[in-house]
Amino acid sequence: MPVPPPRAGRLLLLVPTQSYRAEDFLAAARRLEVPVLVGTDRCHRIEDAFGPTEGLLSIDYRRPEAAAQEIAREAAREPISGVVPVDDGTAVIAALAAERLGLPRNPPAAARRTANKLAQRQALAAAGLPVPWFRAFPLAPGPEAAALEVPYPCVLKPLGLSGSRGVIRADGPGAFRIAWRRIEAILAAARSDRKAREGGEGSRLLVESFVPGAEVALEGLLRAGQLELLALFDKPDPLDGPYFEETLYVTPSRHPAAVRDEIIRIVAAAAQALGLREGPVHAEARLGPDGPVVLEVAARTIGGLCARALRFGAGASLEEIVVAHAVGLPVDSIRRESRASGVMMLPIPRRGVLHGVSGLEGARSVPGVEDVVVTAPECREVVPLPEGDAYLGFLFARGETPDAVESSLREAHRRLAFDIRAPLPTVR
Ligand SMILES: Nc1ncnc2c1ncn2[C@@H]1O[C@H](COP(=O)(O)OP(=O)(O)O)[C@@H](O)[C@H]1O
Ligand SMILES: [Mg+2]
């Protein structure tokens, strides 16, 4: 008699307070018939937001060690076969929990190093990888001395935020001082705001030399320390600052094969230098004047809804690959479909209240466009980068070539109009 395939055990999905990534992970688990326990630091009334799942586990994300202990207690009650973090903050908890449960994992120290931009730079530099000039400065003394010590142009950034929040380019001491004060305010707001965990690193900022050149993003899967490529995206809009809102992601990359190979090589070396071993990585690199430079590696999948641009093997999502790998199911194929694909993240052009979006039908009817998703809720204030941490929505397209996909996305974007108005003054 044939042996039935092993039924996967429970998956613990660590969902951050504010994320629309949960839905796609839950759908992936359902397709794989993997039961899910949703870890959350919100109250239990959010059950409806996640749909039918095996259950919810309330965890205090601010205390990773205690959170891991809580997870181990739950696993003693009923086994957990894999832990998937959805963002950088939960990646540390996932590593700690998986260590307690004896599951294949990233070492907790590696997850911590990866989630801290200074520790990450130090690890990459120590491994001899190309890194921009960098230095951390305490905020307390103010920007005056620092402004005279850094090379220009430079980029100032918080150590523990993500999504380009608080990342600002400065071309001279004047802009440096203004950027510094602005990041100070963003960090102060983040401290009083539980949804932005800044890893207790709100008292310093990181300054790096600005690396000019085209940017690319790499999605990969680590298995036993080996990086396998899932997708390499070009980011064809120039990201020259002073703020770094992301827009276009198009795959496959149009850069020459030798450049693509070099990017994969340095990202694999960076993951190794950080000590990462298992699970998804999302990395950004710049094609600088002296060759590719890793800007950042994260121990998670690409953010927002961007993963919807990817399909593998017979149609599996990125989340299916990550879930299967986490619970020890065979990963069928990590080969991306042969068509070109892309996504445009829609940045918030200015602060105000979103009154409505028009042109959706027109955008959807552009050949190649597969979906237009508006994620920003109407009648709420929207805040652009560097202070904001959200996008208006996402456009998705597929086509025969990356050029065709890029054109479809640009045309669809042209057809959309966002009605953003100044908020009404508060009446006392
Ligand atoms: N040293 C740098 N040189 C050039 N661009 C940079 C540099 N650092 C950051 N950027 C730009 O800012 C973006 C966000 O910075 P990053 O360090 O990746 O922070 P986050 O975690 O917020 O994504 C990058 O994708 C890149 O476009
Ligand atoms: Mg980044």
pLDDT at 387 over 80: yes
pLDDT score of 297:
97
User: What is the share, in percent, of the chain residues with pLDDT greater than 90?
Assistant: 82
- Structural domain contains residue 355: yes
- Structural domain contains residue 171: yes
Total domains in the chain come to 3
**CATH at 392:** 3.30.470.20
Distance CA 281, CA 266 (A): 13
pLDDT score of 166:
96
Q: In the structure, which protein residues have their CB atom closer than 6 angstroms to any atom of ligand 1?
A: 117, 132, 155, 157, 161-165, 167, 208, 210-211, 215, 239, 244, 284, 286, 295-296
- Same-domain check for residues 22 and 86: yes
Contact yes or no for 380/316 (Cβ under 8 A)? no
- Same-domain check for residues 393 and 426: yes
**CATH at 78:** 3.40.50.20
Q: Which atom of ligand 1 is nearest to the CA of 239?
A: 27
Digit-coded pLDDT (tens) for 304-320: 999 999 999 999 999 99
Distance CA 168, CA 164 (A): 8
- Same-domain check for residues 108 and 142: no
Comparing C-alpha atoms, which of 266, 259, 210, 206 is closest to residue 234?
259
Range of the domain at 407: 339-428
pLDDT score of 198:
46
**Closest ligand, as measured to the CA of 121:** 1
Distance CA 203, CA 330 (A): 44
- Structural domain contains residue 311: no
Domain boundary among 113, 147, 174: 113
**Closest ligand, as measured to the CA of 244:** 1
Q: Which amino acid is at 86?
A: V
Cβ-in-10-Å burial (0-12, 13-18, 19+) of 313 comes to middle
pLDDT score of 395:
98
Distance CA 252, CA 254 (A): 6
Mean per-residue pLDDT over the chain, rounded: 92
Domain boundary among 154, 186, 209: 209
Report in angstroms the alpha-carbon separations of 88 from 54, 135, 192, 226.
24, 22, 19, 20
Distance CA 167, CA 385 (A): 8
- Same-domain check for residues 95 and 177: no
Distance 383 CA to ligand 1 centre (A): 19
- Same-domain check for residues 97 and 145: no
- Same-domain check for residues 425 and 348: yes
Phi, psi of 85 (to 5 degrees): -90, 145
How large is the average pLDDT for residues 276-282?
A: 97
Report in angstroms the alpha-carbon separations of 353 from 166, 381, 417.
21, 4, 14
- Structural domain contains residue 290: no
Q: Which amino acid is at 68?
A: A
- Same-domain check for residues 16 and 109: yes
- Same-domain check for residues 90 and 141: no
Distance 419 CA to ligand 2 centre (A): 29
- Structural domain contains residue 301: no
- Same-domain check for residues 152 and 197: yes
- Same-domain check for residues 88 and 165: no
- Same-domain check for residues 75 and 170: no
How many Cα neighbours within 13 Å face the side chain of 56? 18
Phi, psi of 184 (to 5 degrees): -55, -45
pLDDT at 352 over 60: yes
User: What is the share, in percent, of the chain residues with pLDDT greater than 70?
Assistant: 92
Phi, psi of 412 (to 5 degrees): -60, -40
- Structural domain contains residue 367: yes
**Helix ranges (DSSP H) in 197-349:** 257-274, 318-327
Given ligand 1 and candidates 152, 164, 248, 294, which is best to mutate, with the most ligand atoms within 8 Å of its CB?
164
**Closest ligand, as measured to the CA of 161:** 1
pLDDT at 3 over 80: no
Dihedral angle computed from the Cα positions of residues 308, 297, 299 and 93, in that order, rounded to the nearest 10 degrees: -130
Given ligand 1 and candidates 186, 210, 244, which is best to mutate, with the most ligand atoms within 8 Å of its CB?
244
* Encoded tokens for 158: 């918080």
Report the interhelical angle of 22-32 vs 318-327 (nearest 10°).
Answer: 60
**CATH at 168:** 3.30.1490.20
Digit-coded pLDDT (tens) for 8-62: 689 999 998 667 788 999 999 999 999 999 999 876 555 555 665 568 899 999 8
Distance CA 380, CA 367 (A): 32
Report in angstroms the alpha-carbon separations of 410 from 367, 395, 407.
12, 9, 5
Domain boundary among 209, 228, 246: 209
pLDDT score of 196:
45
- Same-domain check for residues 184 and 100: no
Q: What is the DSSP letter of 23?
A: H
- Strand ranges (E), 112-270: 134-138, 154-158, 168-170, 204-209, 215-223, 226-235, 248-251
pLDDT score of 164:
92
- Structural domain contains residue 314: no
Contact yes or no for 105/351 (Cβ under 8 A)? no
- Structural domain contains residue 164: yes
